[in-house]
Amino acid sequence: MLTLDNVTKIFKTGTFGGGSTPAVRNASFEIRPGEVTALIGESGSGKSTLGKMILRLTPVTSGKITFEGTDVASLKGKRLREYYRHVQGVFQDPFSSYNPVFRADRVFATIKRSYFPDVSNAEWRGRVANSLESVGLNPVDVLDKFTHQLSGGQLQRILIARALLLDIKILVADEIISMLDASTRVDVLNLLSNLKTRGLGVLFITHDLSLGNYISERTIILRRGVVVEMGATEKVFDNPQHEYTKMLLTSVPQLHKKWEPGSDSELEAMLGPSDDDGRPGRYSKSSLHPLAGAHSRRSRREREAEAERQAAEGLLKTDTYLRTHEEVPPLVEVEDDHLVAISSGAG
Amino acid sequence: MALKVENLRLCYRTLRGDVVAVDDVSFGIDDGEIMGLAGESGCGKSTLGNGLVRMDVRMAQLGGRVELDDKELPISNDKAMRPLRFAEVSIVPQYAMSALNPTRKVGKMVAELLKSRHLDYKSALPELERRVKLVGLDAEVLKRYPIELSGGMKQRLVMVISTLLNPSLLIADEVTSALDVSTQRAVGEMLLEFRDREFVKSTMVITHDLSILAQIADTILVMYAGKLAEKVSADVVINNPLHPYTQLLISSLPEVGVRHDAKTLVGIPGRPPTLLNPPTGCRFRERCPAAFDRCAEQPPFLEVKPGHSVACWLHADAALPAGGAGAALTSSGPGVSLSQAGSADTLSGPVEELSPAGAVDGSSPSGGAE
């Protein structure tokens, strides 16, 4: 349906555009109808950039995005508008997606003006009501209201209802529930999941692995702009192959399982082992100035921690992106529908 | 007990009337305890946290008392609080990334902060550098401007700066919510580490993310619409909560391993009531599947099992003698029973010594009054 083929995005940085930041490198995957594809990555991994490229909000540097056989980059004017009839996006912050000066239902009016100028007002009202009901909203509750009168969950659902008014085939959902309360999150998730039964393809961009796991059929793990692991969700989550995926999975806070101590050398090294010397006295504030003791004496354990920390630096480094000359690790199929990058950097 | 809060009421003064965001709240935090404060947005958790450190001009204390280390904490007296802030009570604000002064290098900012407390930066520097290294940053960051640091680095720095004077109480307001999972874990473990190294005595972690609290908190306090709903150790909140609100909140959380196809989770319908004119009776009544006629009255916050307090009429009759009042009232018997409550109770039987039957038996002198 929508296919990405070796898509790369390089941002020019620096005062005179001399530097370059590759945000996405050689990403190839497809979004299939009737499936939720979860795109999981940490900040700076390029996941939103990918979403924006699919929505044509930013051009691709190289590679090709094709939708039903046509190159998306070549679309112009009328044909671009047709593209948006089929491909729509919903973004993270529902409060900044609306203009607070106007009523929230103005988003429906703009759709009508651009795409359905011939539809009569009465029929349009019926369609809007249907669409709102299909996202679990009562039209009476949300029509003619301003954004501040509605909750975040309601606003996000109105945006989804707006997308459904069009004949959409692909929905790019970029962190749509991270601003919502836990109690309403799950309802929006279930809604997305119901959409796929209508044959919609959803690209669900998130940093939260448990959410991705909950609704997706396929999962793509992105690190520093490179796809490191992708495949059927249960295969990626139950049998992670890449070190980075494993690291992410051990870091997810879970309700019924505590973080495994020491399973993550990076964090251990970051905090250092508890040392007995050099710690301030027990609540010493009154007797002794808390900052009086100089703790510069470094114990052997502290030096070890330092060395360990530097060793782990590879994963922690603030350079989020692969440098342009670095090779993009190729993906290898480890089992049916489960691809893993041959790890070079992450070990 | 490091922190003791009794019947605290905090409100926002607005033109339309007082919005009581923290209503008659009593709890304590022990030395070395990490208490999590959870609830939906708009339930008063940040107001409580901010109120203990600095009341904004719009806020007023309507009643109650706060004690820190057996001394009264004059939270409504800005002048009296000034020497205590940073030294005794400290906060890591929500969006800590924007808490650093963008026009100062980090070290200079800390120097100014210490100077305002009549302390010398030079003598504090070795300890500051040690702690900066402890959280995995290079001491060089003190010579950088905030714009040169990543979000996670700033978050860690703010936490080091807030705890520099070893405060008795640290309030961490949504410190993990804007971070990636791996940084989230690092920050969570930092909070534990700070407690273990006694940089802080007690910590209050405010978050809407119960799964983070399951990792780091000793006890969890759940708030709803300005009132306390439930307080108990973290394990019990996760595995065997009593308040319907807590039960629904827990059951709506997706976890790794839970798939939509296998198990469809449900959210809590509706939204918290507005606090300008809060409804009478139990404030969760509107959304509660187990609500019955007695809920028209405000349920008291009672200790129903040792160390387990809850504000719900379903459980008020099991109150321990210390709780008092609730047990003496006649039981009208819950007309509807929450299926989840039933299953949760049977679960607890073999695992916990807090089995409900045992607790009721133990308290029979007063519990038997019904």
Q: How far is the alpha carbon of A82 from chain B, nearest alpha carbon, in Å?
A: 32
The helix (run of H) or strand (run of E) holding residue B351 is helix B339-351
Label residue A293 by pLDDT band (50, 70, 90).
very low
Parent domain of B297: 250-367
> For position A308, what pLDDT does the model report?
56
Radius of gyration of chain A (CA): 24
Rounded mean pLDDT, A130-151: 85
Asked whether residue B210 is domain-assigned, the answer is yes
Q: Among candidates B197, B275, B259, B271, which has minimal Cα distance to B14?
A: B275
8 A C-beta contact, residue B164 and residue B184: no
Asked whether residue B243 is domain-assigned, the answer is no
Q: Tokens standing for A251?
A: 């870091």
Does residue B358 carry a pLDDT above 70? Answer: no
Rounded mean pLDDT, A331-341: 85
> For position A304, what pLDDT does the model report?
53
**Cross-chain Cβ contact B211/A254 below 8 Å:** yes
Asked whether residue B141 is domain-assigned, the answer is yes
Label residue B178 by pLDDT band (50, 70, 90).
confident
Residues of A whose CB is below 8 A from B130: 278, 295-296
Q: How far is the alpha carbon of A65 from chain B, nearest alpha carbon, in Å?
A: 28
Residues of B whose CB is below 8 A from A244: none
The residues near B49 (Cβ < 8 Å, ≥ 6 apart) are B37, B91, B171, B173, B204, B206
With a pLDDT cut of 70, the percent of chain B lying above it is 86
- Higher local confidence (pLDDT), A317 or A193: A193
Q: Are residues B136 and B262 in the same domain?
A: no
Asked whether residue B242 is domain-assigned, the answer is no
Rounded mean pLDDT, B40-64: 88
Q: Average the pLDDT over each of B100-109, B247-256, B292-301, B319-328 and give the range with the smallest value.
A: B319-328
- Name which of A248, A254, A271 is nearest B189 (Cβ-Cβ): A271
Asked whether residue B230 is domain-assigned, the answer is no
Asked whether residue B169 is domain-assigned, the answer is yes
Query: What is the domain-level CATH number for residue B135?
Result: 3.40.50.300
Label residue A139 by pLDDT band (50, 70, 90).
confident
Q: Are residues B162 and B288 in the same domain?
A: no
- A258 at B interface, C-beta within 8 A: yes
**Cross-chain Cβ contact B124/A291 below 8 Å:** yes
Distance CA A296, CA A307 (A): 17
Q: Average the pLDDT over each of A121-125, A290-294, B136-140 and give the range with the smallest value.
A: A290-294
Last residue of a domain, one of B221, B236, B260: B221
Q: Are residues B290 and B169 in the same domain?
A: no
> For position A326, what pLDDT does the model report?
64
Q: Average the pLDDT over each of B41-45, B55-59, B79-83, B333-337 and give the range with the smallest value.
A: B333-337
Q: Are residues B87 and B204 in the same domain?
A: yes
* Sheet with A201-206: strands ordered across: A87-90, A170-174, A201-206, A36-41, A218-223, A226-232, A338-341, A331-335
> For position A309, what pLDDT does the model report?
55
> pLDDT tens digits for A68-120?
989 998 888 889 999 999 999 998 888 888 998 999 888 999 999 989 999 99
**Which of A40, A255, A267, A285 to probe by mutation at the B interface, max B CB count within 10 Å?**
A255
The residues near A36 (Cβ < 8 Å, ≥ 6 apart) are A192, A193, A196, A202, A204, A215, A216, A217, A218
Q: Are residues B217 and B262 in the same domain?
A: no
- Name which of B41, B184, B267 is nearest A186 (Cβ-Cβ): B267
8 A C-beta contact, residue A138 and residue A131: no
Distance CA A338, CA B109 (A): 50
Q: Are residues B156 and B9 in the same domain?
A: yes
Q: Are residues B144 and B293 in the same domain?
A: no
Q: Are residues B184 and B301 in the same domain?
A: no
Instruction: Tell me how many degrees the CA angle A134-A138-A140 measures, rounded to the nearest 5.
Output: 140
With CA atoms as reference, the chain B residue closest to A151 would be B271
Rounded mean pLDDT, B166-189: 87
Q: Are residues B117 and B18 in the same domain?
A: yes
8 A C-beta contact, residue B195 and residue B216: no
Label residue A315 by pLDDT band (50, 70, 90).
very low
- Name which of B136, B208, B271 is nearest A271 (Cβ-Cβ): B136
Q: Dihedral sign, CA of A184, A186, A192, A197?
A: negative
Residues of A whose CB is below 8 A from B208: 181-182
Asked whether residue B227 is domain-assigned, the answer is no
> For position B9, what pLDDT does the model report?
94
pTM of the model: 0.76
Q: Are residues B171 and B260 in the same domain?
A: no
Q: Are residues B204 and B270 in the same domain?
A: no
The residues near B46 (Cβ < 8 Å, ≥ 6 apart) are B94, B173, B174, B206
Label residue B191 by pLDDT band (50, 70, 90).
very high
**Cross-chain Cβ contact B252/A182 below 8 Å:** yes
Label residue B28 by pLDDT band (50, 70, 90).
very high
- The architecture that CATH gives domain A2-238+318-341 is 3-Layer(aba) Sandwich (3.40)
**Cross-chain Cβ contact B260/A292 below 8 Å:** no
Q: How far is the alpha carbon of B299 from chain A, nearest alpha carbon, in Å?
A: 23
Rounded mean pLDDT, B131-151: 88
- Higher local confidence (pLDDT), B69 or B319: B69
Label residue A135 by pLDDT band (50, 70, 90).
confident
- Higher local confidence (pLDDT), A15 or A96: A96
With a pLDDT cut of 70, the percent of chain A lying above it is 79
- Name which of B119, B123, B198 is nearest A283 (Cβ-Cβ): B198
With a pLDDT cut of 90, the percent of chain A lying above it is 27
Asked whether residue B128 is domain-assigned, the answer is yes
With CA atoms as reference, the chain A residue closest to B259 would be A214
**Cross-chain Cβ contact A271/B153 below 8 Å:** no
> For position B322, what pLDDT does the model report?
53
Q: Are residues B127 and B37 in the same domain?
A: yes
**Which of B30, B119, B127 to probe by mutation at the A interface, max A CB count within 10 Å?**
B127
Q: What is the mean pLDDT of chain B?
A: 83
Number of domains in chain B: 2
| ipTM reported for the complex surpasses 0.95 | no
